[in-house]
């Protein structure tokens, strides 16, 4: 049955602005359209929230709302702490900077909350792309001051949301701060890795006023970004978090993962120390002299950082590294959407090494209220409000999931209440971009195979070691019977 105008056409309507709240130092307030007038705007985005799925769904259904916000006090973990209590220290430190500073909190817990389990992390990461676009749309609706200095701060998977939002904004943010963005081998194996190294070059990190200043702080799962092409201007910091004694290993790792949030809050409160927020351009600091790589010397002196020699310094490079990629493949895919036919789909053939799908969007006959939604293999990845066109830097889909083969690209047009507009959307120039060193997408089959191979290798090595140890012990004990008989003979 074909979807027509009316309730059916509005079934997929998204309201990004409802996910934003303003923190005044004590409580959270709803954000209305064009209500943010401050000069400095700090936006915090939370990350993956394992163990909160049932709580969020229970209260959302009971309250008859589509989603519960992350700052709802009913969201409590097993140790009795509210979810927002883990972030309020940083939010409070930012709010205390003065009346020219506005602190916003973005919630996507309805899609980032899962059951407890390492293999559940990929479900949260799958939702980072579409929430980055939602955040960009919400900010464009809420900001009234066109000269506002925007600071996006993301923790864990929230760092990916922040990067996708930065790429989708019509005007680049002044700063993007990543707090323990998961990128190491462990997070890549479990499907938790952000895999934003193919996206960061699109926002053009710089040390001047031409683009955003990007700094990244790793406490457990992060890896340095400045070594990769197009990201030489990124400032990486390796924090010493340590593992405290906790009832479970999961709690110890979770605390170390959150250490990056607490560390950055401390740097805001002690900005005079000149590290973290202290070297931010929003603090009127000169970022041109900063090194590419720092590390903390110990947990007792967290704000004492030492410089590390980066790859470019060791190689003697004096200019940004190029972004390596193979020739792009321009497909013949075109998606046409209008009021009568609001949905369209095409099959794309992907090859190993493919990292992005880029495209152009042309909208005509619009009254500005329409929304364009894109899905890849039934997973929402892109949203655009006709009123706020997405720049070229944000018209992409990152291929972080799946494997080479056929994949379904779906586009939908969701119309507003106006019957006078005749919107037409044309999606063209669908291009597949590849990187030689792009990480393969996440699949349960790949994880199962890697786990099997790892277990086979470890088990084989353990068996061989045991056999060698047993043979060595037998060889060492071989003379023992003769010695015992000689001792008995002497006593007799």
CATH of the domain at 255: 3.40.50
Q: How far is CA 86 from CA 80, 92, 261, 290, in A?
A: 12, 11, 8, 30
2 part of a folded domain:
no
Of the listed ranges 37-46, 85-94, 311-320, 385-394, the least confidently predicted one is 311-320
- How many structural domains is the chain composed of? 3
Is it the case that residue 48 has pLDDT exceeding 90?
yes
Is it the case that residue 328 has pLDDT exceeding 90?
no
> Could you tell me which residue, 326 or 176, shows the higher pLDDT?
176
- The reported pLDDT for the residue numbered 403 is 77
CB environment 321-340: b (16+ within 10 A), e (fewer): beeebeeeeebebebebbbe
Residue with tokens 């197009």: 230
Q: Is the dihedral of CA 267, 273, 274, 278 positive or negative?
A: positive
| 408 Cα distance to chain centroid | 23
Residue 253, class by beta-carbon neighbours within 10 Å (0-12 exposed, 13-18 middle, 19+ buried)? middle
Is it the case that residue 29 has pLDDT exceeding 50?
yes
Residue 272, class by beta-carbon neighbours within 10 Å (0-12 exposed, 13-18 middle, 19+ buried)? exposed
- The reported pLDDT for the residue numbered 5 is 33
- Which of 272, 287, 315 is the last residue in one of the domains? 315
Of the listed ranges 128-142, 361-375, 427-441, 449-463, the least confidently predicted one is 449-463
9 part of a folded domain:
no
Please tell me the distance from the alpha carbon of residue 346 to that of residue 367, in angstroms, as a whole number: 27
| 344 Cα distance to chain centroid | 28
Per-residue confidence at 436, pLDDT binned at 50, 70, 90? low
Is it the case that residue 143 has pLDDT exceeding 90?
yes
Mean pLDDT along residues 300-323: 65
CA angle 397, 400, 402 (to 5 degrees): 105
Residue 18, class by beta-carbon neighbours within 10 Å (0-12 exposed, 13-18 middle, 19+ buried)? middle
Q: Which of 108, 76, 82, 97 has its CA nearest to residue 27?
A: 82
Q: Which of 344, 336, 331, 333 has its CA nearest to residue 431?
A: 331
Phi, psi torsion values for 151, nearest 5 degrees? -125, 110
Q: What is the pTM of this model?
A: 0.87
Across the chain, mean pLDDT equals: 86
Please tell me the distance from the alpha carbon of residue 413 to that of residue 385, in angstroms, as a whole number: 10
172 part of a folded domain:
yes
Residue with tokens 């992390």: 121
Per-residue confidence at 21, pLDDT binned at 50, 70, 90? very high
Is it the case that residue 438 has pLDDT exceeding 70?
no
Q: Which of 136, 147, 82 has its CA nearest to residue 109?
A: 82
Q: Are residues 218 and 88 in the same domain?
A: yes
- The reported pLDDT for the residue numbered 247 is 63
Is it the case that residue 311 has pLDDT exceeding 70?
no
8 part of a folded domain:
no
Q: Are residues 80 and 202 in the same domain?
A: yes
Taking the CA of residue 84 as centre, how many other CA atoms within 13 Å lie in the half-sphere pointing to its CB?
22
Q: How far is CA 186 from CA 41, 190, 220, 229, in A?
A: 34, 7, 10, 23
84 part of a folded domain:
yes
Is it the case that residue 1 has pLDDT exceeding 60?
no
- The reported pLDDT for the residue numbered 326 is 57
Mean pLDDT along residues 420-446: 76
Q: Are residues 282 and 158 in the same domain?
A: yes
Q: Are residues 185 and 211 in the same domain?
A: yes
354 part of a folded domain:
yes
Is it the case that residue 316 has pLDDT exceeding 50?
no
Q: Which two tokens stand for residue 235?
A: 């400032």
- Which of 392, 413, 434 is the last residue in one of the domains? 434
- The reported pLDDT for the residue numbered 229 is 82
Q: Whole domain around residue 373: which residue ranges? A: 329-434
Strands laid side by side in the 405-414 sheet? 343-350, 405-414, 371-376, 379-385
Q: Are residues 409 and 388 in the same domain?
A: yes
Q: Is the dihedral of CA 389, 393, 399, 401 positive or negative?
A: negative
Per-residue confidence at 421, pLDDT binned at 50, 70, 90? confident
- The reported pLDDT for the residue numbered 2 is 35
Q: Are residues 487 and 360 in the same domain?
A: no
Q: Are residues 25 and 165 in the same domain?
A: yes
321 part of a folded domain:
no
Strand partners, 425: 337, 363
Q: Are residues 414 and 468 in the same domain?
A: no
CATH number of the domain to which 354 belongs = 2.60.120.260
Residue with tokens 């997070």: 187
281 part of a folded domain:
yes
Decide if 14 contacts 75 (C-beta within 8 A): no
Q: Are residues 78 and 141 in the same domain?
A: yes
Strand partners, 427: 335, 361
Q: Are residues 157 and 283 in the same domain?
A: yes
Q: Are residues 139 and 212 in the same domain?
A: yes
Per-residue confidence at 86, pLDDT binned at 50, 70, 90? very high
Q: Are residues 138 and 220 in the same domain?
A: yes
């Amino acid at each position: 049955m074909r979807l027509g105008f009316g309730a059916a056409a509005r079934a997929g309507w998204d309201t990004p602005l409802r996910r934003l709240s303003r923190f005044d130092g004590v409580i959270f307030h709803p954000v209305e359209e064009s209500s943010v007038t401050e000069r400095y705007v700090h936006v915090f985005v939370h990350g993956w929230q394992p163990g909160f799925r049932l709580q969020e769904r229970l209260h959302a259904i009971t309250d008859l709302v589509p989603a519960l916000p992350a700052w709802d006090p009913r969201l409590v973990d097993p140790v009795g702490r509210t979810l927002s209590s883990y972030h309020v220290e940083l939010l409070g430190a930012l709010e205390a900077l003065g009346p020219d500073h506005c602190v916003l909190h973005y919630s996507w817990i309805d899609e980032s909350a899962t059951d407890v389990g390492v293999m559940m992390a990929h479900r949260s990461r799958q939702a980072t792309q579409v929430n980055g676009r939602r955040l960009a749309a919400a900010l464009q609706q809420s900001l009234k001051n066109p000269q506002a200095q925007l600071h996006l701060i993301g923790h864990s998977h929230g760092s990916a949301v922040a990067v996708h939002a930065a790429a989708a904004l019509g005007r680049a943010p002044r700063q993007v701060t990543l707090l323990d963005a998961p990128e190491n081998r462990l997070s890549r194996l479990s499907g938790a890795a952000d895999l934003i190294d193919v996206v960061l070059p699109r926002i053009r990190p710089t040390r001047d006023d031409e683009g955003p200043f990007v700094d990244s702080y790793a406490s457990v799962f992060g890896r340095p970004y400045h070594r990769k092409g197009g990201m030489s201007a990124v400032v990486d910091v390796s924090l010493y978090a340590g593992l405290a004694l906790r009832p479970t290993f999961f709690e110890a790792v979770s605390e170390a993962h959150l250490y990056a949030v607490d560390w950055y809050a401390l740097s805001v409160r002690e900005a005079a120390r000149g590290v973290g927020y202290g070297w931010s351009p929003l603090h009127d600091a000169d970022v041109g002299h900063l090194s590419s790589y720092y590390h903390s010397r110990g947990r007792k002196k967290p704000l004492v950082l030492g410089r590390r020699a980066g790859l470019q310094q060791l190689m003697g490079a004096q200019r940004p590294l190029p972004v390596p990629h193979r020739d792009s493949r321009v497909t013949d895919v075109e998606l046409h959407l209008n009021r009568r036919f609001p949905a369209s789909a095409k099959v794309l053939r992907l090859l190993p090494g493919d990292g992005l799908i880029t495209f152009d969007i042309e909208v005509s006959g619009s009254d500005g209220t329409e929304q364009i939604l894109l899905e890849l293999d039934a997973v929402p990845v892109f949203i655009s409000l006709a009123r706020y066109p997405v720049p070229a830097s944000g018209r992409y889909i990152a291929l972080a999931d799946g494997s080479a083969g056929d994949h379904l690209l779906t586009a939908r047009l969701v119309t507003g209440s106006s019957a006078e507009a005749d919107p037409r959307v044309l999606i063209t120039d669908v291009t597949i971009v590849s990187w030689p060193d792009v990480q393969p997408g996440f699949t349960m089959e790949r994880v199962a195979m890697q786990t099997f191979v790892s277990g086979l290798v470890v088990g084989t090595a353990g068996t061989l070691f045991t056999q060698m140890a047993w043979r060595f012990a037998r060889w060492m004990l071989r003379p023992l019977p003769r010695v015992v008989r000689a001792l008995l003979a002497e006593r007799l």
